[in-house]
Every structure is written in C-alpha cells, then in structure tokens.
Structure 1
C-alpha cells in the first residue's frame, strides 16, 4: 500500500517521467478512432488531501492531444480558479509537445494572474482569482501537459468551520482515456460518497490513520453533443462526496453563517426605511422591498459557493450596492424582517441534474427565499432581475431544494407554478383583401420566463436595434411586409404585464390560383411567444431536456374578402402524452375564421425510448394542412 501511495505522489508531484508522456502522446488514438472528437484527453488525474486542521490541498495533472483546429482555442488557454485570501496556486508543469516531438514551455508573460471575469466590477469578491496559462505551439498533433496544486497560502489560518466536498464527472464531450479522482483523509474528517449513473466502487485503503479513496476509469466514451440533450451529469458516471455527516450538519453550517450576517443589518435597515415607506404592511411591503432590491442592488452573477459559503454582512451589501446570490438573500432577509416577515433561505440545484441524498453542499448552485404570509408562501429570487417578485425563474424550481429551517433542514420540491404562468398568449387579428394583401396586428402577452425573455430583449434596446428587430419580426409574415406600428409596454416596470404589438401589412400574402385563394395562416412572429423548443433530430442517442413546463396559445382570426367562401380549413387536432399536450381548433362565424393552437410542455426530460412519440407529436402538429385555408369564389 505504501508503494501505491508513493507512486501516486510521484505522478502528481511533477516527477512524472517525460518518456511516459511521450509514449502516451505517440500512441494516442486519433480521428480514425474518434472521428467526432476535437481532442483526446490522455490523462486527467486529481487528488484532494484533507488535513486534520481543516485545510486541504488539491493536485491536478492533465495531458491532452489536439486533433483538430477547434481544440486549439478550447484547450490552448488554461485557467485555475481559487480563493486568493486563503489559497495559492503552484504550477508544477506547463509544457507543449510539438508535433515533431519537441517540448517547449510558455514564456514568462504567458503566465498571468487575474480576477475572475464575473467580479471585475465587484471588489467585494476580488479574492476570486484565476491563474492563467497560454500554451504556445498549439497545432493539430500537439499536446499540452498541465500540472498544478492549490494549497493554503503561507500564514493562512485553518478555517473555523472546515467543510469539503466535490463533484467529479467521469466523461465529457471529448474522449478521456484515463480519469482518476483520489481523496485522502484522516479522522475526524471522514467522507461519505456516491457514484451516480454507475455502480463503480472505489479502491479504499488505510495506512497510519489516513484513508485513501481512489476512483479510476479507463476509456471514458466521448459524449457527442446533440441539440436539446440533457447535460453531462445525466450521461456519465458522477462522483459526489462530502465531509458532512448528515443534513443537519449541512444546514447548521450554512444557516449559522447566514443568520449571523443577517443580524448585522442595523445600518441597512435604518437607511432603507429612510428612503422608503415604513408605513407599508403585509404583501405591499413585501413586494415593494423585493422590487427595490432588484432595481437598486446590482447582481453579481456567481454560483452559490463560488467565493465560499460565508456571505457578507447585510450592512456591507447595503454599502456596496451590489451582491452575489448569498449577499442579496442576506440583505433582502434583513429588510423583510424589518416589516415583520420571517424569510427562510432555500438552497436550490438550479438545474435538473441528478440529486444525491447525501448532504453534498456542492450540488446546490443558487439560493432563494421562502416568505411565509398569512395566506400562503411567497417565493423570491433576489437575483431574478426580469421577473415580477413572487415569480421564480423555472431553473430555480428544478431538482430538489433544501430549506434551512430550524433544526434539521427540509428537502422539498420548489413549486413551479402553473403552465399558464410560464407561457404566452398571442392574438393575430388579420383582414385579407381581394388582391391577396393581408393587414392586421399581432399582440403577444408573455408570462413568467417568456416575459423575462421579452424584458431582457427590450430593456435598454437602442433605436437601431429595435428597428432591426421589428423588421425581422415583420418578415415572418412574408417578404415585403411593411411595419405600420410597433409598441412595447414598459418592460422596466416588473409589476406591469409585458405586451408587444406589431401592426403590419403584407402584400401578396395569399396565393391566387384561378378561382381559389390559398392562405397559409401566419405563424408565431415573436420568439418569446413560443415554447422555444422543437425536436429537430429524427432520432437521438441521449435523453432530451425540455425547456420547462409552459403553455403557449396562438389565436389567429382571418376576415375573408367579400365574394369568397371557405373551401377548406384545418381539422381539429388533439395530441396528449406524458410530455406535451397539443390542441388545434378552427371555426367560422360568417366571414371570420378563428384558428387556435395550444402547445403545452408538461415534463422536463424525455428518454431515448420515448423520443419518437415526442417527435411524432410535433410532426403531426406542424404539417402544412394544419395552417392552410383555401378560399373559393362564390
């Protein structure tokens, strides 16, 4: 066992013999074996050492061979993120093996230290740094070798509340020939672990009180990207591990930090009540405070845990006028408590990745608030800049949430709301003239995520950008469509519904054939008015990720010209399966045809076996006759 540990140490300490690297590169499979790959990962080894005092050291070694031009940009620049207040990055090897076999090293100026891009204008998070390396000589046939360690900076004190955990994927969008993850620990810092999507068990050994866990997989297959495919976490073996003994320990760890910072809020509360109405009560006070937060405290978009789990104090967030999800949740909680509310923080996965029942903190990527009221619970995301308070982004409702209630936390599913609350309704009122010209207006009222998409698109849109967008939308009716008017509601007011209206005229919209006039009813002109999904591939290799539960309704009324009668119009259609529900109805009242299409997405994921049923449903919906009206002279 000592020999095994010593060999592993050599591999990750810079003593890896160059002839071994040469052999790996020379004998690496190429495009003949992996025709859809851009690179082949020859080895990817990581090792985490957990110290008794709560500190940890992370080692990583990476060897990659470039197979095509695309990979040069993907792999040529490597970055290592770390907390500069606590840690330092030691680069042990950064070299390129040229196609002719020569090894070269980057020049001194190829090594840089920068702040992470997300915190460029947020000095409160300036500790989030990146050690960057630009590898020279990137070319097809070249290989890069990168080895580093992240260790406590000299003089850094051990953490007051030591906690460690991690998530490692054994597979990716490029083939991996040798993937290894090692965790070395010792009492009392023991770990719990789970391998998802696989029954693989680690090699576990103990020597002198130190326990070593080694997970190794060879020839991890390449995942070839497909449109709308689920993420890697659903497709490859996924290791999760944690030092928390149970969920109660996890909840206490996060909650203690959170409430300590909420309590440090005297300045924030006093300042807020001076600039707002302290006489508000009940739901108006809650909505006012949540609105104020969205508009006045800038969001720094960092995933939960990116700069640790200890947030800044509410008073500091108030002074900074910006915050990441942790900090904005802390400040909003302190302000709402001033009005008598008792918000509860809720950790959410923010995606539909597999959930582990082990208390793995790293699987939560966001934090929201649940605010109990007399009649119900209002859910708030203080970083959802384009959502009406009380409406969560759909991602925040995915997966499993962890509500940090007193005592043991509660695992729950965050309510997503109805499909109507996340859809859109579009009404297209049109009149067809004798010469085939179509005039009318299209009005779209989106909700939830679709409304947020519209707010994001139109907020701060410049006049020239608006003109281009308007003409693009108008062209969906046909070539030569003229815009007669275009209006957008005040998208900056989150309490006002979003409404977008286009007035248009389209010459030669209908096709005249003798006594017949062929009319293809207008499609959806606004991208935020549709579900944003279509299963384009005839078949798939991986499960499909649907865009979220939502319902869109499109209603077209067509006033037909005098002297014409309806010869054909679409038949009713109903398609209902576990994933989607489609309804199509057409009716005629005197000279007006009313066509209504409802598209509802009911699920989140579709298996490979169920994909044909999903595609068949869409194919049946979009066949041309479902939008075709034929008029005939009387």
Structure 2
C-alpha cells in the first residue's frame, strides 16, 4: 500500500468541555442575548477582511442507540459580512434521501445588524424533490426561505437529522424511525468535515454512544481538542476546532476531503470485517443467482472464445456496453444490497452496483469465481473502516486465488478491463473470508501512448502539406473514442476536422481514414492528408516563420489534454495534484524544406527526468526538419514533492509548442519561383 500523503495526528485528551450531555438535551435553546454576545465576540469585516461571511459556531450533537440508529441536532450561527454572503444565507437547504434519513428544521432566527430578532415561520419550509439526472432515487431537500438579508445580518439555525447516508432497505416505509437503522445493524459511523468556505470561529462535534460500542476515531489533516468521558453510563466524545480558515485551493488538486481536516468514527472492527459483511449481504439476498436466461446469455457471449482472458473481457464489455447507466428507485436494496442480476438483465439498466452485479452473475454462469467490491472514485479512502464508498466494481478471482478488478461502469468505449483512471485508488473486495483495503497500482504510462507522426512538405509560399498519422492505446485511446462516442455519427466527420483546425482554422483535411470508435478490437487510429495554406508566415525578404505542426500537439489541443490543460501554477504546491491518467505522448515530424532553405532558431535538445519526463530534439537532416518529442506523465496523482519535476516537464513541452523557427533562403526571394 502506498504511503499516505496525509499527516495523521494522534488525538490527545486535552480538556473536558463544559456542558457535556446528549443530543437530546436541547442545548440549542440559547437565549438571544447569548447569541448577540457570540456575534459581538466573533467580529465582522475588521476581523475577516477578505471573507464573505463567518461561521460563529457549528455544533453537532449526535446520539447513538444500541441499534446503531443515530440522531443529530446541528446548531449553527452564521453571519454575513458582504452582500454576496447575505445572498448565500438567504436560503438554507438540507438534502436527504427519505428512504434512509429524515430532516426536520427545529428553529430559524435572523439577527439583523441593526438589532432585534426575526423568527422565520417554519411553516414556510419547503420539502422538495432534488433536480436529478441519470440517477432518479427520489432524493429530496428541505429549504428554508430566510428572505432578504443585509451585510452584518446573522442566521441562527437548528436542524435535526435521523438516519444515515447509504440505504439498505427492507421495504418497510412506515413512519417510525426504526427504518433508519444503518445497514450494518448495530454499528455506527460518521465522516465529519472540519472545513468550510467561510472562516469558522468554533466547530464542535459531540457523540454520545453506548459503552459496549467499541468506537474508533481518527482525525486527519489537522488536530482537534478532544474530550472522552463517561456520563450517566454512556461514552461521550467531544471534538473541537477553533479559529480555522478556508483552505486555499490549488488548480488540479486532489479532492478537498483528501487534504482538509476531517474526523472519521466507526464501530466496525476493521476493513476485513466490513468486507465479510458486504459479501454476506449479497449472498443472503441472492443478488447473483444464475437464472437460465443469464446462463444462456453467458454461453452466447463466450461462444468460440478460447482463453479465460478473452471470455472475461467479452463478458465485461457486454455488461459495459449493454446495461445503460440509469438509476431508478427499485425498492429493496437501493444501497449496499445489489439488485438481482435477473432484474438488471430484464431492465437493461442500472447504476454501478447493478452493472457490477450482473457481471458477477455472468462470470459465475460462465464458471468463474467472482464477487463485488466497493471503492471511492475521486477521493481517498482512509485506513479506518468508516464507510467511504461511492462506486461498485467486480472481482474475478482466479484458481490460484489472485484477483483481477473489472469495472463495467467505467469501460464503455475503453479497451481496458479496469479503467486506469482508477489507479492509485482504494478498493475493498467483498470476498468470503474478507479482505484488507488495497490501493490499485500505478498504470505504466507506456500502456497509454498517444503517438502522432507528421510527414509534411513546406512550400515556398508558406503552405504546409502532408499526412498526419495517429495511433493511441489505453486511456489515450479511450479519450479519443470519448470525443466521438459522445456525439452522433453524423457529427463525426466535422470532429475529424478539429484534429487540425484546433491548431490552424485554415487547415483543410483532404482525406481522412479513421478506425471505428465503436470497434474495440484494435487501437484507435487515424490518418489525415492535409493542406494548410499560409501555415508559415512570410516575412519581409521572403523568409518564413513557423512552429512545427507536430510540436503543437494538435490532437492534444482537440482533446484539451492534460499535458496542455493542467495549470502549472503555483510554482510550489501544498497539496497533491491529479490528472486523468498516466500517459506517454510521442510527437514526431519530418518536414521537407524548400530547396536552398536554411533553418535558424532551433531550440536546444531537452532532457528532463523525474515524475514528468521529457526528451526533445529539433534538427535538420538532409534537407528535412526532424522533430522528435517524448513526454511521460508517470502517474495519476503526484505529491507536492513530485510537482517541480512534473511542472518543469510540462512547461518545457509547452514552450516548444510556442517556439518559432526561421526559414531563410540562400538566393534572392525573386529567384525562388
């Protein structure tokens, strides 16, 4: 497992905070006088000159039952400093899934800057459907229409939330709160961000839990004051941070949750126990039961294929291409329980867990051992068994017990079995005997090449004619296919043109030969015969000035590729930076020069090593300009220590793309004709 980039600070018992109690103690019944005093202590624009507002306090009181059911009362006092901050406070919204949680607004009051208190009528609270696309799971939100506010106004808000984040439903949607017992019954977890877009004077999180619950916790990316006490036969833990500011974001940085202070709590023993539970839930639900239809389908898909790898690939890509991504409310099992594979086959649609589940069933129908797995796309999973998942994938376990990860959700239009955009990502496999959390390895950049070769001829008048050849593999291949597959076929010819017009709008594609983006049997390739009138600028005296076409990475420009799009600021980074995938870009051009031409201004050869590697040479050989460049982006996530070499390689690569050369002639311009 890779070394974590996050500094973990042990939680030391520093002090016992006052007023310890349970979430039901209604400590939020604070008098207006006390709130006015808190606002005065917090200050305003003079204390927070660049902020739109300030969080005076954010307190959460969590009460956990023996069943694992939790109730949270959150009390916030926020003050607007600017007009933009006032607009942000004018409406408060609280998303929730009615199948797994309930939200109630207990109180809302406005403290105008000019004095007094205005009560917001709770009858005006709106319970509405969330805007939804692709996933239609009846998610909702409670909105509090606070009304027009002015700079200096503050909002005192108290809410109560019951339930959890993920749903494992039993079909009983009665009014009692027992339906909000978490899926891993008897267990509790929480993930608490200690960050905000506004400065925070104080944030406090307190959980009261039965003594027999073995609650583990860890604070990441910072430190907090901690109190751990026994009160009236229950364990009460309080975590407090004071006086923290918003993190300054950096272009291309990893998810905020990877670097900002956060608290994780769980009663689960370890990841192995979680993996066993996840496995058992699916088997008890018979999610992967092989029906005659599934068996027949598996036989049809694998017919005539000789090797295990070919059969697995065929089943994986069938699930990827034939189960459309759409989430509908299907009742039981909208969370950790995967829907029956027979249901997914019938509907030919589902989300990641449904695509993973039907692949498990198809693999089993074909005689292979297979299980589901959970992961977190886009964020790191910390090494404490709080539920940190948003994605489901598939595991093929070979007879020698080694495992291969498969992802039918992320590989439509991808020649891979597992998307390398998921490298350096944590996965928990739901194996019968459990499994530890693993981190997927770096995918070698050589598996994701983008090879562009130009054979061109420069005319005396500055016209450039020639042929561009392109071959890609891995995620470079996938990125090109994605350009086409996201559009209707009638637009593909126009898209072909952009491979050159992205660099020069005068470019004319005379003939285009391209592989079918829907055919995954061979790497994506393209060949374009082109003509670009006036590509080279004619200077006084007949000299020509140009930048070699290949050096400008025209296909990379058309794709808005990382090697051109990733910001090279700041010079030094505090946080890791993330790109789409490791990558190898090879650019070459052989340009036949006009007779008698002499080339001036050739850049020196470049060689840079490290997390970003670049070799480049421009030279004249036998009447031809020879350009060769190779840029290697070695991984997907780079540490701050690796940033300088990556940045240097990118800047050098981009500088070459902007470096003009001068073509002069030994004879007078009037004799060139």
> In the alignment, which residue of structure 1 is the partner of 2:375?
348
1:154 equivalent to 2:181? Answer no
Per-residue CA shift, 1:41-73, capped at 9, x if unaligned? Answer: 222222332201232212223333334455567
> In the alignment, which residue of structure 2 is the partner of 1:41?
55
1:597 equivalent to 2:629? Answer yes
> In the alignment, which residue of structure 2 is the partner of 1:237?
261
> In the alignment, which residue of structure 2 is the partner of 1:117?
132
Paired with 1:32 and 1:500, the residues of 2 have a C-alpha distance of: 61
Change (3 A) 1:559 1:160: closer
> In the alignment, which residue of structure 2 is the partner of 1:380?
406
> In the alignment, which residue of structure 1 is the partner of 2:169?
none
Alpha carbons 2:23, 2:61 under 8 Å: kept: no
Aligned-residue CA RMSD (Å): 3.5
Alpha carbons 2:53, 2:78 under 8 Å: kept: yes
What is the Cα deviation at residue 629 of structure 1? 3.3
Paired with 2:636 and 2:545, the residues of 1 have a C-alpha distance of: 38
What is the Cα deviation at residue 188 of structure 1? 2.9
> In the alignment, which residue of structure 2 is the partner of 1:402?
428
> In the alignment, which residue of structure 2 is the partner of 1:266?
291
Paired with 1:392 and 1:512, the residues of 2 have a C-alpha distance of: 50
Paired with 1:67 and 1:549, the residues of 2 have a C-alpha distance of: 44
> In the alignment, which residue of structure 1 is the partner of 2:141?
130
What is the Cα deviation at residue 554 of structure 1? 1.7
What is the Cα deviation at residue 571 of structure 1? 2.8
What is the Cα deviation at residue 189 of structure 1? 2.5
Q: 1:418 aligns with which of 429, 444, 447?
A: 444
1:434 equivalent to 2:460? Answer yes
What is the Cα deviation at residue 243 of structure 1? 1.0
Aligned residue pair count:
623
Change (3 A) 1:434 1:496: same
What is the Cα deviation at residue 599 of structure 1? 1.2
What is the Cα deviation at residue 333 of structure 1? 0.1
> In the alignment, which residue of structure 2 is the partner of 1:633?
665
Alpha carbons 2:470, 2:525 under 8 Å: kept: yes
> In the alignment, which residue of structure 1 is the partner of 2:585?
552
> In the alignment, which residue of structure 2 is the partner of 1:55?
69
1:202 equivalent to 2:234? Answer no
1:188 equivalent to 2:212? Answer yes
Q: Secondary structure at the match of 2:544?
A: strand
Q: Secondary structure at the match of 1:202?
A: strand
What is the Cα deviation at residue 568 of structure 1? 4.7
Alpha carbons 1:524, 1:530 under 8 Å: kept: no
Alpha carbons 1:298, 1:321 under 8 Å: kept: yes
> In the alignment, which residue of structure 2 is the partner of 1:66?
80
Q: Secondary structure at the match of 1:156?
A: helix
Q: 1:565 aligns with which of 561, 585, 598?
A: 598
Aligned counterparts, 1:498-513, within 5 A? 498-500=524-526, 503-513=529-539
1:313 equivalent to 2:340? Answer yes
Paired with 2:492 and 2:125, the residues of 1 have a C-alpha distance of: 42
Paired with 1:464 and 1:139, the residues of 2 have a C-alpha distance of: 53
Q: 1:336 aligns with which of 360, 363, 366?
A: 363
Paired with 2:34 and 2:520, the residues of 1 have a C-alpha distance of: 60
Alpha carbons 2:480, 2:524 under 8 Å: kept: yes
> In the alignment, which residue of structure 1 is the partner of 2:248?
224
Q: TM-score, normalised by structure 1?
A: 0.86
Q: Secondary structure at the match of 2:201?
A: strand
Paired with 1:73 and 1:426, the residues of 2 have a C-alpha distance of: 50
Per-residue CA shift, 1:315-343, capped at 9, x if unaligned? Answer: 23233322222222221101111111112
Q: Secondary structure at the match of 2:277?
A: helix
Change (3 A) 1:276 1:450: closer
1:521 equivalent to 2:521? Answer no
> In the alignment, which residue of structure 2 is the partner of 1:287?
313
Change (3 A) 1:478 1:223: same
Alpha carbons 1:455, 1:498 under 8 Å: kept: yes
Paired with 1:394 and 1:74, the residues of 2 have a C-alpha distance of: 39
Alpha carbons 2:577, 2:640 under 8 Å: kept: no
Paired with 1:374 and 1:586, the residues of 2 have a C-alpha distance of: 52
> In the alignment, which residue of structure 2 is the partner of 1:249?
273
Alpha carbons 2:21, 2:231 under 8 Å: kept: no
Q: TM-score, normalised by structure 2?
A: 0.82
> In the alignment, which residue of structure 1 is the partner of 2:395?
370
Per-residue CA shift, 1:496-524, capped at 9, x if unaligned? Answer: 43335555433322233436432211201
Alpha carbons 1:386, 1:456 under 8 Å: kept: no
What is the Cα deviation at residue 633 of structure 1? 1.5
Q: Which has the higher contact order (CA 8 A, sep 6+)?
A: 2
